[in-house]
Amino acid sequence: MPLKTVICIGMAGSGKTTFMQRLNSHMRSKKNPPYVINLDPAVLKVPYGANIDIRDSIKYKKVMENYGLGPNGAIVTSLNLFSTKIDQLIKLVENKRDKLEHCIVDTPGQIECFVWSASGSIITESFASTFPTVIAYIVDTPRNSSPTTFMSNMLYACSILYKTKLPMILVFNKTDVCNADFAKEWMTDFEAFQTALRDDQELNGNSGLGSGYMGSLINSMSLMLEEFYSQLDMVSVSSFTGQGFDDFLNVVNNGKINEYDEYYKVERERVLKLKEEKEKQRKDKSLEGLMNDLGINDKKKPKSEDDSAEVLSDLEEGEDDGLVVPDEFEDSEREYTFASGDRTQGEINAQNAPGLQKAYQEAANRVGKSANSETAENIARYLRQ
């Protein structure tokens, strides 16, 4: 059995962490322990034993202080910093490929920080391109018993499904408090949802969310979402009592993983190939532009030889051009860093020059330019400036 990844996503307070805790203990009780990852940098306490915890490498409060950020900005920045290490994380999980069957991942409560950030996409993509991956979208059942809240949550889930292009399981949590049968009915019977919306309108009058523009918007949305519902599996669970976790595992292992292999993997490979080709074209183009700028592209003559237009400047010779000269102490180290000398920190400095030179020499060779080491050195010097 290949190792599968389950990424838990859900609105703040939907019970992701409690769900992770219960899933972990449920799997352990079946003698099938998972590999557990926490990607929420802001959580104070993780109630399950995590094999990898983002908080070990990123100090969320320090990120806030050092970068002068608010809580959400700091979550995104923490994820950005962490995503530079994603290949190492994937390698660690890959080492468990033959020993474990599942890897479960908790994500930040501020759903948009993960789902709509570049780093969230990088992390999700990295998992999905290495292991069969499903999204467990956790829904707070009692809070979604109003048709308008339910619809808003489903729209969010829909956007995540189409963005990640990964199989999704809707997990209606907290069913010890409120049964999720109503949700099942709304998802399968359009008339039932319309009736609930009408009832809500009658109950709350014009002040309710189910009335006016919102009401008619939700009405139309519910028609549109029929297609979305048909692509989903739904389970109801209680992270408190453990009810429904066998069903959840059954859907992960037998239903959604097959879907991943049949449809998503093929689609993913096609998209990745397309992306690679586009990226290669973009790199070739920007390298050519760079060569042109430096006047070393033999396809084009240097500008000064054939350009009739002159570049005008208001500056007298020797006049200050306003460029800021860096302070001597400006390159002092930040307090918060990853391992020293790591290029992923995002600093391209003078020490990286030999590496840069080599990389650009190779790049120049790849695009068939007659680049010699002097050319590459020029490029490196240009970039350093």
Ligand X SMILES: Nc1nc2c(ncn2[C@@H]2O[C@H](COP(=O)(O)OP(=O)(O)OP(=O)(O)O)[C@@H](O)[C@H]2O)c(=O)[nH]1
Provide the binding-site residues for ligand X, judged by CB under 6 A. 10, 12-18, 40, 109, 173-174, 176-177, 238-240
Of 156 and 260, which CB lies nearer to ligand X in the complex structure? 156
Residue 110 beta carbon to ligand X: minimum distance, rounded to whole angstroms: 7
Residue 143 beta carbon to ligand X: minimum distance, rounded to whole angstroms: 10
Q: Give the list of residues 6+ apart from residue 157 with CB closer than 8 angstroms, or none.
A: 137, 139, 168, 170, 228, 232
Of 157 and 356, which CB lies nearer to ligand X in the complex structure? 157
Residue 140 beta carbon to ligand X: minimum distance, rounded to whole angstroms: 7
Cα 347 to chain centroid, rounded: 23
Of 176 and 259, which CB lies nearer to ligand X in the complex structure? 176
Cβ proximity of 157 and 144 under 8 Å: no
Residue nearest to ligand X (CB): 109
Residue 238 beta carbon to ligand X: minimum distance, rounded to whole angstroms: 4
C-alpha distances in Å from residue 337, one per residue of 77, 113, 221, 298: 13, 21, 46, 42
Of 78 and 222, which CB lies nearer to ligand X in the complex structure? 78
Q: Is residue 259 classed exposed, middle or buried when 0-12, 13-18 and 19+ CB atoms within 10 A define those classes?
A: middle
Of 13 and 289, which CB lies nearer to ligand X in the complex structure? 13
Buried b (16+ CB within 10 A) or exposed e, 106-135: bbbbbbebbbebebbebbbbbbbebbbbbb
Of 16 and 26, which CB lies nearer to ligand X in the complex structure? 16
Q: Is residue 294 classed exposed, middle or buried when 0-12, 13-18 and 19+ CB atoms within 10 A define those classes?
A: middle
Residue 40 beta carbon to ligand X: minimum distance, rounded to whole angstroms: 6
Residue 138 beta carbon to ligand X: minimum distance, rounded to whole angstroms: 7
Of 15 and 147, which CB lies nearer to ligand X in the complex structure? 15
Detail the DSSP E strand segments found in the chain: 4-10, 35-38, 52-53, 102-106, 133-140, 168-173, 233-236
At CA 171, angle to CA 91 and CA 89, rounded to 5? Answer: 10
Residue 47 beta carbon to ligand X: minimum distance, rounded to whole angstroms: 8
219: closest CA among 227, 230, 211?
A: 211
